[in-house]
Structure 1
Amino acid sequence: MQYGFCNLNIVPVRLEPADASEMVTQLLFGDHFKVLEKRKKWSKIRIAFDKYEGWVDNKQFLEITEDQYHKINQTPSELVADVIDFLQDDKNQLIPISLGANINKIVEFGNYTYEGRKLQGKNTKEQFLETAFLYLHAPYLWGGKTPFGIDCSGFTQMVYKLNGYQLFRDASQQAKQGEALSFIEESEPGDLAFFDNQDGDIIHVGIIMRDNYIIHAHGKVRIDRLDHSGIFNVDNNQYSHNLRVIKKIV
């Protein structure tokens, strides 16, 4: 088994080993993973944080040992708290890093310096919405996980991650976590609402706010109304998503 470490800011993880293939998620600086299959130009990986699998370009990560992989697993996370910041290497070169990058994992891989704000440990649920607002108006990007482009489940995963909690990557996977609630009135700000299509498949997720509002990624990270039917788009006065279930994770 081989292992890897993401030493770049944002790296696409693709469905197939090709640059033109669909991006299914992203690696942020500090993410680490197992290499399941290695080819000349591409590697199939399983990300340690959420066990998500996909293909990455071999030029866009650093190979590490099994001992380093397990040491990283045991190292508490320290996440970048600002939308964009910089590391400095031993050559005084600046390396851009984004919100949610894990800078506590760099101790194994060079003399980096970071003087920015960090997040660590678990926060109370009241903090979740404040974190969510950091992504407000971020453009929708399938597979994205940053304020420069993000999808619905990437948004919920990152908000929870920045507050010390772990969600799976896709909405359908996240819907299997936590405790189901019977009514919106039972929910608290920070709980998750899931939405399905005509076939009953979970296709969307958002974070519940106070007073029957929801923040979610749909075209952009936006705030809309939420009721027992689903999400009511305040711009076009139409329902955009059909409510399936509300889950309390924390």
Structure 2
Amino acid sequence: MINKSSAFLWSDHKPHAVKEKLMHQERKAKFYQLTDEEVLSLYTDRLVDSELLYGEIVDTKETSGAYTKIVVPDQKSSKDQAGYPGWVFTKDLSPIPEDWSAELDKAAIKKSTAQLNFFDMAYEKQEISVGTVFSVTEADEKNIYVLTPDGPGWIAKEAVQFLGQSSQDSAEQIISLAKEFLHLRYVWAGTSAAGFDCSGFVYSLYRVFGRELSRDAHEQALEGTEVHYSTAQLGDLLFFAYEEGKGAVHHVGIYIGDDQMIHSQTPGSKVIITTISGTNYAKELCTVRRHF
């Protein structure tokens, strides 16, 4: 299990200044701290392929020095049928709790961030990202009680969505949640409240409402039911491709009505709302996919 609020899935285990900084950064109870220049380096140097959240279960393959090669079963990818492959810091991994079971109820954080509290006072309260999924042992009127890599803890019930209990207004809820991240900086490969890339933004928000999408946009574009843009509804996913929509898929946004989408735009930019008509997006729109 991942034992940090978030952990990058590195594309390799070669040395790099950004990796070295994060490897030695004390951030147990909070997200990573990187400058805008260092965040841009994640993209320009192609350092990362995805990001993992606290408690994410992984399969380990091999260890090389300070890194462990893994696959991530919950992040579907054509790169490996077993899950998204890559490398993480070995110190960011902890054993799965002995009392964990796949049969336990699951709940996802539905706010931009939430606070995880531990029964073991040796651990400080931890900031947890939207999209983080926990195994639930019990719940009362105020809290849910969860298993974690650091022992049992609890989270305010108002901060979570029980998976398998999505409502008819899930699409509206996704849009409302997405708007909480307006002006959050784009982070290449990001899936957390510290910063998203375009497909990570969609992946994490849809996960909250029990929709398990592939991790990358070009694969997400093949999932769900295809509809015409003229009939697009709130929460539909809009995909864009090079060569005026005929080439490779390179971007995804969430339709919010009135010819607009919300999306994590591009490296160096932020989460923004964009009107489609009259822009290059109108020319590059290649498919619209519905999941609700």
Q: TM-score, normalised by structure 1?
A: 0.84
Q: Which has the higher strand share?
A: 1
Equivalent position to 1:214, from 255, 258, 261: 261
**Equivalent residues of 1:85, 1:97 under 8 A apart:** yes
Show the counterpart of 2:147.
107
How does 1:50-199 map onto structure 2 within 5 Å?
50=75, 51-64=83-96, 71=101, 73-89=102-118, 90-91=120-121, 93-104=124-135, 106-107=146-147, 109=149, 110-115=151-156, 117-121=159-163, 122-123=166-167, 124-181=170-227, 183-198=228-243
Q: Can you give the 5+ residue segments of structure 1 that lack an aligned partner in the other structure?
A: 233-240
Aligned length: 234
| Aligned 8 A contact 2:199 2:252 in 1 | yes
SS at 1:78 equivalent: strand
Amino acid at match of 2:59: K
Distance in 1 (alpha carbons) for counterparts of 2:156 and 2:208? 18
Question: Is 184-193 or 119-128 further displaced after alignment?
Answer: 119-128
Between the aligned partners of 1:220 and 1:194, the Cα distance in structure 2 is 18
Deviation at residue 140 of structure 1 after TM alignment: 0.5
Q: CA deviation at 1:208?
A: 0.9
User: Cα 1:170–1:195, aligned 2, differ >3 Å: closer, same or farther?
Assistant: same
2:3 maps to which of 2, 7, 20: 7
Deviation at 1:19, TM superposition (A): 5.1
Distance of aligned partners of 1:229 and 1:178 in 2 relative to their CA distance in 1, 3 Å threshold: farther
Determine what percentage of the aligned residue pairs are the same residue. Answer: 25
CA deviations over 1:169-210 (Å, ceiling 9, x no partner) = 1001101111222x3112111111111123701010001111
Q: Which is bigger in relative contact order (C-alpha 8 A, separation at least 6)?
A: 2
Structure 2 unaligned regions, length at least 5? 17-45, 76-82, 137-145
Q: 1:103 to 1:171 in 2, by over 3 A?
A: same
1:38: how far off?
Answer: 2.7
Distance 1:108 1:152, change over 3 A: closer
Deviation at 1:229, TM superposition (A): 6.8
Using the TM superposition, give the Cα deviation of residue 102 of structure 1 relative to its aligned residue in structure 2, in angstroms: 2.1
